[in-house]
Amino acid sequence: MPETTSYSVAVLGLGAMGLPMATRLATELTVHGFDIAEPRLALAADAGVTPFGSAREAVAGVDAVVLAVRNGSQLRDVLFGENGIASTLLDGSVVIMTSTVGIDDVVAVSDLLAERGVHLVDAPLSGGPVRAGEGDLLVVVGATPVAREKAKPVLDLLASTLSVIGDRPGDGQAFKTVNQLLCGVHIAAGAEALALAEALGLDAAATLETLAAGAAGSFMLGNRGPRMLQAYDEGGAEVLSRLDIFVKDMGIVTAAARSAGVATPVAAAAEQLYILGAANGLAAEDDSAVIRVVAPNQR
Catalytic residue numbers, as ranges: 176
Report d(CA 232, CA 79) in Å as an integer.
41
CA 213 to chain centre: 28
Query: In the chain, which ranges are E strands?
Result: 8-12, 30-34, 50-51, 64-67, 94-97, 119-122, 125-126, 137-142, 159-166
Report d(CA 66, CA 51) in Å as an integer.
14
**Helix or strand (DSSP H, E) at 45:** helix 38-46
Report d(CA 134, CA 158) in Å as an integer.
8
Report d(CA 139, CA 131) in Å as an integer.
12
Helix, strand or coil, per DSSP, at residue 125: strand
Long-range CB contacts (< 8 A, 24+ apart) of 213-222?
218/186, 218/190, 219/186, 220/183, 220/186, 220/187, 220/190, 221/186, 221/189, 221/190, 221/193
Helices and strands in the chain, H and E counts: 13, 9
Q: What is the DSSP letter of 11?
A: E
